[in-house]
């Protein structure tokens, strides 16, 4: 088991990529806090699935855009498991609108969750890791759109671009404490957020033409990279983004 006796928080882990990461961590021996904002039943199911595989888990409701919720999230994890070794910032939202029609409130909402929320989680987790000693791992689920454009999604792309430089900067600052910081940049992954693709064959065909490996990624494809970055095998890895996109970045026409 690569994560035996480690303690992890995975934000937004009641569904999709976050849930796959939480389950993978549990299978590898980690104690996992499943964070959710608005899907309590799914969070409970995630906890049950982790425990069925022999792991330990709790569910905590926390909105990552609220500082008091992040303090609660980290506090309850430490209260339950005694420490915090791994912080995975996965929670995110997007609202697609043409740039000229995007209201300020949409910008503020997306930035609050996708960038400010990650800032808050990184800082609170790092404070705990520094105080307890022994280093730690911070892993942010970013996107290929920290590098390539996505018209009608400017706030999301701006947040992911900011996340790239946040990761790079705090990786340097936190290195003296033995804390590594890395991003995972998924491409097209089959999650509830893009279920509509299955109902639109033409759009799916267009998307697959952009992916050299010719398939949509699965949440488990991202989870396996997260396990690596959280493990001792990645102890000399920090300040980088690992793209999980089937080669999409090398061929994409800015979908």
Annotated catalytic residues are 156
| Residue length of the chain | 255
Distance, in Å, from the CA atom of 180 to the CA atom of 165, rounded to the nearest integer, reads 14
Distance, in Å, from the CA atom of 119 to the CA atom of 110, rounded to the nearest integer, reads 13
**CA distances (Å), origin 203, targets 8, 168, 187, 188:** 37, 34, 16, 12
Distance, in Å, from the CA atom of 228 to the CA atom of 88, rounded to the nearest integer, reads 13
CA nearest neighbour of 167 among 154, 151, 155, 185 = 185
- DSSP output for 90-111: ---------GGG--HHHHHHHH
């Amino acid at each position: 088991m690569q994560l035996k006796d480690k303690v992890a928080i995975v934000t937004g882990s009641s569904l999709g990529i976050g849930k796959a990461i939480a389950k993978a961590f549990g299978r590898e021996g980690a104690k996992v806090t499943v964070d959710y904002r608005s899907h309590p039943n799914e969070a409970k199911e995630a906890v049950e699935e982790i425990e069925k595989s022999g792991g330990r888990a709790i569910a905590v409701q926390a909105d990552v855009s609220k500082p008091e919720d992040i303090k609660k999230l980290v506090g309850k994890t430490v209260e339950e498991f005694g420490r915090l070794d791994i912080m995975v910032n996965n929670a995110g939202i997007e609202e697609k609108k043409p740039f000229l029609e995007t209201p300020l409130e949409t910008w503020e909402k997306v930035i609050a969750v996708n960038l400010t929320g990650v800032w808050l989680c990184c800082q609170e987790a790092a404070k705990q890791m520094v105080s307890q000693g022994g280093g730690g791992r911070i892993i942010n689920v970013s996107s290929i759109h920290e590098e390539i454009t996505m018209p009608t999604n400017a706030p999301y792309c701006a947040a992911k671009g900011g996340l790239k430089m946040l990761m790079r900067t705090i990786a340097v600052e936190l290195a003296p404490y033995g804390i590594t910081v890395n991003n995972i940049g998924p491409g097209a992954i089959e999650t509830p957020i893009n279920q509509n693709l299955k109902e639109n064959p033409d759009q799916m065909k267009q998307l697959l033409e952009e992916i050299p490996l010719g398939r949509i990624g699965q949440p488990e494809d991202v989870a396996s990279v997260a396990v690596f970055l959280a493990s001792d095998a990645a102890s000399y890895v920090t300040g980088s983004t690992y793209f999980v996109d089937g080669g999409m970045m090398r061929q994409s026409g800015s979908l």
